[in-house]
Amino acid sequence: DSQTPPPGLDAARATLERVWGHADFRGLQAKVVAEILAERDVLAVLPTGGGKSVCYQIPAILRPGLGLVISPLIALMTDQVEALRQQGVAAARLDSGLSLDERTNVLRAARSGELDLLYVSPEGLASGALTDRLRDLPLSLIAIDEAHCVSQWGHDFRPDYRTLGRLGELFPGVPRIAVTATADARTRDDILASLHLEHAAVFVDSFARPNLQLSAIRKESASRAKTDAHVIELVRARRGQSGVVYCGSRDGCERVAEALKSAGTNGIAYHAGMSGPERDRRLERFLAEDGAVMVATIAFGMGVDKADVRFVIHADPPGSLEAYWQEIGRAGRDGEPAEGITLYGPSDIAWTLKRLDGRPMAEEVKSVQTRKARQLFAMLDGAICRPQAVRRYFGETDAGPCGVCDICSDPPALYDATVPAQKALAAVQRLGGRFGKGRIVDHLLGKTKDVQPWESDLSTWGIGKEIAPTGWRDILDHLMFEGLLLEDPNDGKPLVGLGDPERVRAVYRGEIAVEVRRTPPGMATGR
Ligand code: ADP
Ligand code: ZN
């Protein structure tokens, strides 16, 4: 009936209340929903837990036709569809896990107009057969979940997402909404361009999470046993609380979970090496049991919605600020105080970069990911309020200090180490990547047994006598976190070379000041 006005915000609010039981929209939800109801394209960047899904689910329910949702993970899709069905919403999914019969049934339901929401994977859509079948159906909207996956500038690029750029052409006139929890300005631009959403309204909610208390602790040694012991100690001090410990490897998960159990804590290992049903069982235990601590790789995460997680500890740091924010963002979703603690060390950045280098991906993508990893480590070893640093990175230029993170509550005294940094870089350059960290310190101090003439003839031999060995190690570590030095984690004996040449040159020229958090021993008293 052409007389009926299109559904508006009141109808949307009523649906939010009826289906989800929520009294009102929060944050930017209402604005996003209004825009979609007015049939305009949208890019919405809302923090994890910000309620992105209802933004497109409600318009799909209210508007005539089928809402198509593209979601990257089958597990996530299954959960969402199940939850919607239990709430009485006509939703279904089409993914590789369905039998032929099931597929036929879903498509028949879609065709007969019985469905409000249909979830599909990007791979599914990439095959022309599915698009052909959907083409003549009336679509109410197309939602692209985890839209940062389309961008090479994002931290989780998925080539399958590239094909989604054609959706506008394939389904002309159907409003499209891209949603994500993590996208810096460059990634946002890339999403708009790649998905051909040039005319979309862009909504970016604040990334502030005032209930999170964040800190980063530099590992005292590269020893795994020591890191494990540190993690156990941190968890034991939070006994009875529910938490997540992220580990960089499956081995690490098993080890830490075992150690936690021996220490009387309910530790549950979780990683992609376990079967689906086994992982489901462990997830259920985590959700149901008091004081359960999930010890997991990044296989655990997307879509996990447990409100009372009181802490997230990184035994090994993630790969980017986006991943960092997403992972610590799993703490305190109930709004109550929660902690995010990240342990990091020079061997971690070395491994992160090494792993990236070995991954089969385009050079362009690799260099973006490398830069993202360095930015994360520079933040961890830096002296800027943690949330402020991350929010500025996401484009919130007016973000102020949080007042509660480790930096805010105990501001580190900064020491200008530009001159020592120039000396160290010059030494590494002359040594041509032959030596590891300890031996470079020896060179700077000019004290090595059996020194060869070629080395003692170098102009950098012994130019750092004014700083004690521990001070030098600190400076070298910091230069690694800044990406000015690179450690190649070769078999046991990592060699150190120069990092990003542009930035190294800038330090030589004094254009970048290098600041370290601790005054190098020997420097405070003057020369
Ligand atoms: P995201 O996908 O952004 O991480 P979800 O869409 O999964 O977040 O929503 C996170 C949680 O917040 C869900 O439990 C959801 O029901 C709830 N939620 C969404 N919108 C609201 C709202 N307006 N008021 C209260 N809770 C909400
Ligand atoms: Zn702070």
Q: For 260-306, how does the pLDDT look when each residue is reduced to its tens digit (9 = 90+)? A: 999 999 999 999 999 989 998 999 999 999 999 999 998 887 657 78
The beta strands (E) that lie in 431-521 are given as 485-488, 495-498, 515-516
258 contacts: CB under 8 Å, gap ≥ 6:
267, 269
Distance CA 57, CA 32 (A): 12
| Residues lower than pLDDT 50 in the chain | 1, 525-527
pTM exceeding 0.90: no
Tokens in use for 481?
């976190």
Model ipTM value? 0.96
- The residue length of the chain stands at 527
pLDDT at residue number 527: 34
509 contacts: CB under 8 Å, gap ≥ 6:
none
- What is the DSSP pairing of strand 292-296 with strand 243-246? parallel
CA dihedral 401, 407, 409, 412 (to 10 degrees): -130
pLDDT digits (tens, 9 = 90+) for 322-363: 999 989 999 998 889 999 999 999 889 888 888 888 888 888
Distance CA 283, CA 396 (A): 34
Closest CA to 520 of 466, 482, 483: 466
* CA 91 to ligand 2 centroid distance, Å: 42
pLDDT at residue number 231: 97
Name every protein residue with a CB atom under 6 angstroms from any ligand 1 atom.
Answer: 20, 22, 25-26, 29, 46, 48-54, 305
The best mutation among 45, 305, 309, 325 to test binding of ligand 1, ranked by most ligand atoms within 8 Å of the C-beta, falls on 305
pLDDT at residue number 74: 78
pLDDT at residue number 354: 84
Closest CA to 133 of 181, 158, 170: 170
* CA 508 to ligand 1 centroid distance, Å: 50
CA dihedral 300, 302, 304, 310 (to 10 degrees): 80
* CA 186 to ligand 2 centroid distance, Å: 25
The best mutation among 16, 18, 22 to test binding of ligand 1, ranked by most ligand atoms within 8 Å of the C-beta, falls on 22
